[in-house]
Amino acid sequence: MSDAGDFRLQTGGRIDRERRMRFFFNGASYVGFDGDTLASALLANGVRLVARSFKYHRPRGIMTAGAEEPNALVQIGSGPRVEPNLRATQVEIFDGLAAASQNCWPGVEFDIGRINDFVSRLLPAGFYYKTFMWPPGFWHLYEWAIRRAAGMGRAADSADPDRYDHRFAHCDVLVAGGGPAGLAAAFAAARAGARVILCDEQNEFGGSLLGGAEKIGGKPGMDWVAGTLETMRWLPAIAMLPRTSAFGYYDHNLVALCERVADHLGEPKPGQPRQRVWHVRAKQVVLATGAIERPLVFADNDRPGTMLAGAARTYLNRYGVICGRRAAVFTSNDSAYAAALELAAAGVEIAAVVDLRVEPGAWGEAAAAKGLRVIAGSAVAAVRGAQAVKAIEVAKLGIDGASLAGGREIVRCDLLLNSGGWTPSVHLFSQSGGRLAYDDALGAFVPGKAAQPQRNAGSCNGAMTLAECLAQGFAAGAQAAEDCGFAPVTPPMPELEPEMQATPARHLWIVPSLKPVGRGGKQFVDHQNDVTAADLRMAAREGYRSVEHLKRYTTTGMGTDQGKTSNLPALAILAEATGASIPAVGTTTFRPPYTPVTMGAMAGRMNGAFLDPARWTPMQRWHVRAGAVFENTGQWQRARYYPLGGEEMHVAVEREVRAARTTVGIFDASTLGKIDIKGPDAGKFLDLIYTNSFSKLAVGRCRYGLMLREDGYVFDDGVTVRLGEQHYLMHTTTGNAAPVLMWLEDLLQMEWTELKVRLTSVSEQFAVVTLSGPFARKLLAELTDDIDLDPKAFPFMSWRTGAAAGIPARVLRVSFTGDLSFEIQVRASYGIALWHAALAAGEKYGVVPYGLEAMHVLRAEKGYIVVGHETDGTTTPHDLGMGGMVADAKPDFIGKRGLRRADLLRPDRKQLVGLRLADGERRPLPEGAQLVDDPGQPIPMKMEGHVSSSYYSPTVGAPIALALVKNGRARLGETLYAPLPGRTAAAMVVAPCFFDPDGKRLHG
């Protein structure tokens, strides 16, 4: 046969035999066809062993044909384009695809972790919890080894070069699932005129019809699919999204979809994202998410060659692949017979159909009529073959179903199909908040009461025949459209083949084996996490009776497949073990995502520079050219210091500070928050939100204000300027600009609605250039000739307007350095012009730009606080020594009552002080260092306070610090100690001002 695989039929399937694709699996080269999945192409090439199991490293083969695959997890790609944890059953092959098994070392054929299987009695459920808890604190040593042993795939070795998109969409009806029910629903809704989005996780619509052989209207089912799609294509308002998984159902009918735009191409085309997440807000949702076949729990039910019956049927009908030459079929229900009959028709020898039921009914008779051997009332008691199925041992079931009766018959086979029934995929329904109901006949949960505007149709709703699926789909689509206000249109039902008479399934949650549970072959429930029936029973014996505890203890239902094949058998086994009913045990919570979603898709464009906007001042480019080192303050990028000729930070900062103290410094203060406040009640409003008074502030003057929260603690501070009778300009700290505005808006809109005040954020409308230092006035005089700069005419805490370098400007004589200082505010677009002009004019005065770090040193030398350094959300004005700013005479202000609370009046509260270190010490204390009286006391020591700001002060010639110390103002002169790693630093408590304590420079 051809190199495209010995197990490929000459005809049939939905693959394009003209388009051959060469791909690589674990380094070996294979050929498949366009339309193949990695799984189907591997099976066609006879590759049985594709993975090692998670815990025991047992050899594993492909078990399913869809999203539920627990075994065949692969990693795709290399270098930066890597995606782990993909199901081989969902990976579309393309030319050059390179895939590798995940959980094996050194290779899938010979895996050293296999030893775990032979010592598995030592590795029971909860093994990690029981073993690695001792000695205490050693977990970090164990974790490294355990993580290496647990094959989770590898991350990319560098940044992902691809783009990922997010898209928001609104529609009348979202249909999740494009099988017969979903197509019927979308068709009905769209025909009624509704705007419809139809999505399906596969590359083609059709769902179960892709892998089945049912006829609709006398033709192959896929012909009906093609016809329906063709009709819908001409409807005006339908979006059809293949390769798109609905992975999360959130509140208010928001459904998240992940569209794999370019995964099947290898690399995205130019301009194309790799994946796209859709946020769909739908008026109505129809879930048509299908059902997943359950494996039976029998001894050694994981041997490569063991596969779900429906999966084998899909590989046959959709891909033209037979998964073996001689198959045995083991079933609890009717559905496996279709697989047996179709495989037989394709030339596969059916060795036996082993049916748990004593009376297999119409399907059994049909199989027998075709010459198949049906062994009723029997079970597969054992599987022979370790790397691949070689034979099964069949035995009669005892009447109770819990034991075997009579002798065993050995049946040779290389493929073992099994079916334990079908579990409706209620994941999205459950995520939506819907309640589940247990259906005894199905042996599964089905949707009960919906919690959102939503319907279920098809096998996710418990419908198990094509006729039911189509009927439910048409009805759900029509009703959904009607609920959106459209006149319902119910398309006519197409003609279907007569259904075979159904025979109830026999749900046997643990199939008995030759030995008691746990003693013979492993009866896997959760194949991905290697959880067996014995593990679950033991957990129940150990007291894990809640299904949520059982999950966490045994890890059943965890992992990338989230228990799609295992959850129901696991809770049924728990129910049996605890004597409870299945609905009483209930399910674990279904959480998004339904299938794994890449981090790239989640992030979308919110990546790198787009993660968060960067805010630049108008002078940013100058700072960059000057070689500034930047620091983020919230979203603002601020120049921290300007190193010259490779200066280290402390050298640059000291130089900048010295210049600002001896000549003149220039500083970009544009980031300060600025709120324009207007209205007849502006002054009254400011009196209410600041501790001090602003209504009596004269026009032309500025005042520093403290803003409290209602609880009495400092919230923000800054200078507010009175621009006119009814017009103020408030400055906030850079980081608090937005919270302060929101707080003020809140108060005006919700509390003091009678006040006539308007607020406008103008933070970015003005550029601010600060000149500070002894020559600040001289420099300003070079820039302006229409402002009287005489200290008497322009005193501290006042402002003037005029032209600065020919630019209309507002000049504030305020200071955050403790030195003579002017802040020049101009329209933002003039900022860079003013900056250049000031630098040029300042050259003869030795002007030096200083950054944020120097600003901090300068303000700390003066003892000025910074909100967030000296305050921590539990700091009062009195703690800061600013009690004088609290105007108790005002009838009301925010925080007035809060300040009177008992705890805020305690005498031993921490108070702001300064700290000086011992002579000769050049190392500043670390900020946050705790201070104690006696460094020799036993741990835990009694804390006396903490360091809030700490710098080396070039002005003082020594490190300085601000600190909050219990009853600190009464302790000046005392020595406190900071116990630090490897040393203890002594510090003397001093007044929190190290520069110009009487304000001569400030007011000069």
Partner 1 sequence: MLLITCPWCGPRAELEFRCGGEAHIARPADAMNISDADYARYLFMRKNPKGWHYERWNHAAGCRRWFNALRHTATHEIRATYKPGDRKPEPPR
* Residues contributing to the site for partner 1 (CB under 8 A): 168, 250-254, 279, 281, 433, 451, 710-711, 742, 745-746, 749-751, 753, 892, 896-898, 900-902
Residue with Cβ nearer partner 1 (609 or 750) = 750
Residue of 425, 101, 475, 157 lying closest to 294 (CA atoms): 425
Query: 16 or 746, CB closer to partner 1?
Result: 746
Q: How far apart are the C-alpha atoms of 762 and 958, rounded to whole Å?
A: 39
Query: Is the Cβ of residue 875 or residue 955 nearer to partner 1 in the bound state?
Result: 875
Compute how many other C-beta atoms are within 10 angstroms of the C-beta atom of residue 634.
15
Distance CA 976, CA 254 (A): 58
State in angstroms the smallest separation of the CB of 445 from partner 1. Answer: 21
In contact, 307 and 48? CB cutoff 8 Å: no
Sequence letter at residue 455 = R
CB of 756 to partner 1, least distance (A): 16
To partner 1, the closest distance from the beta carbon of 753 in angstroms equals 7
CA–CA separation, 532 and 522 (whole Å): 6
Closer by beta carbon to partner 1, 282 or else 338: 282
Smallest distance from the beta carbon of 754 to partner 1, in angstroms? 11
Complex with partner 1: residue 269 or 449, whichever CB lies closer = 449
Distance of closest approach, residue 100 Cβ to partner 1, in angstroms = 37
d(CA 942, CA 989): 17
Residue among 13 and 248 whose Cβ is closer to partner 1: 248
Which is closer to partner 1, CB of 449 or CB of 1000? 449
Asked if residues 64 and 236 have their Cβ atoms less than 8 Å apart, the reply is no
> CA 113, CA 540: separation in Å to the nearest integer?
28
Indicate the residue among 127 and 250 with the shorter CB distance to partner 1. 250
* Cβ–Cβ under 8 Å, residues 460 and 450: no
Question: Of 266 and 433, which CB lies nearer to partner 1 in the complex structure?
Answer: 433
In the bound complex, what is the minimum distance in angstroms from residue 711's beta carbon to partner 1? 6
- The torsion angles phi and psi of 40, rounded to 5 degrees, stand at -65, -35
| Contact by Cβ (8 Å): 74, 185 | no
The bridge status of strand 798-804 relative to strand 727-732 is unpaired
User: Tokens 């080396």 — which residue?
Assistant: 952
Rounded to a whole number of angstroms, the minimum distance from the CB of residue 448 to partner 1 is 15
Reference 945, options 902, 976, 907; nearest CA is: 976
Q: Tokens for 72, please give them.
A: 């065949």
Non-local (6+) Cβ contacts of 81 within 8 A are 156, 160, 161, 162, 267
CB-based contacts of 420, cutoff 8 Å, min separation 6? 293, 294, 295, 296, 297, 332, 333, 507, 569
Rounded to an integer, what distance in angstroms lies between the CA atom of residue 715 and that of residue 739?
10
Shortest Å distance, C-beta 236 to partner 1: 24
Closest distance of CB 947 from partner 1, Å: 30
Of 635 and 662, CB closest to partner 1: 635
Residue 908's Cβ-count burial label (10 Å; 0-12, 13-18, 19+) is exposed
Of 698 and 902, the one with the shorter C-beta distance to partner 1 is: 902
Bridge partners (DSSP) of residue 760 are 676
- Residue type present at position 56: Y
Q: How far is the CB of 685 from partner 1 (least distance, A)?
A: 15
CA 680 to CA 685: how far, in whole Å? 10
Tokens read off for 1004: 């000069």
The distance of closest approach from Cβ of residue 649 to partner 1 in the complex, given in angstroms and rounded to an integer, is 37
Residue 961 CA to residue 925 CA, distance in Å, equals 7
Q: Which is nearer to partner 1, 127 or 743 (CB)?
A: 743
Cβ atoms 481, 192 nearer than 8 A: yes
Closest to partner 1 by CB, 18 or 754: 754
In whole angstroms, the minimum distance from the beta carbon of 607 to partner 1 comes to 18
Q: Quote the radius of gyration of the chain (alpha carbons, Å).
A: 38
CA distance linking residue 690 with residue 692, whole number of Å: 5
The CB-of-253 to partner 1 minimum distance in angstroms stands at 8
Residue 634 or 979 with smaller CB distance to partner 1: 634
Q: What would the two tokens of residue 278 be?
A: 């859709």
How many Å is the maximal CA-CA distance in the chain?
A: 115
> Residue 551 Cβ, how far from partner 1 at the closest point, in Å?
23
Dig out the tokens for 866 from the structure. 């910074």
Query: Shortest distance, CB of residue 515 to partner 1, whole angstroms?
Result: 48
φ and ψ of 351, to 5 deg = -70, -40
| Residue with token string 């008779």 | 365
Q: Measured from the CB atom, is 256 or 375 closer to partner 1?
A: 256
Shortest separation between residue 273's beta carbon and partner 1, angstroms: 21
Paired tokens of 833: 């012009």
Between 745 and 974, CB nearer to partner 1: 745
List all residues 6 or more positions away from 887 whose beta carbon is below 8 Å from its beta carbon: 691, 692, 693, 893
Rounded to an integer, what distance in angstroms lies between the CA atom of residue 921 and that of residue 923?
Answer: 6
Cβ contact 20:41 at 8 Å: no
For 519, counting Cβ atoms within 10 Å of its Cβ (0-12 exposed, 13-18 middle, 19+ buried), the class is exposed
Looking at beta carbons only, is 760 or 975 nearer to partner 1? 760
Q: Closest distance between partner 1 and the C-beta of residue 113, in Å?
A: 42
Q: How far apart are CA 53 and CA 120, in angstroms?
A: 13
**CB-nearer residue toward partner 1: 827 or 909:** 909
In the complex, the smallest distance separating the C-beta of residue 839 from partner 1, rounded to whole angstroms, is 38
SS3 337: helix
Query: Cα–Cα distance between 721 and 624 in angstroms, integer?
Result: 31
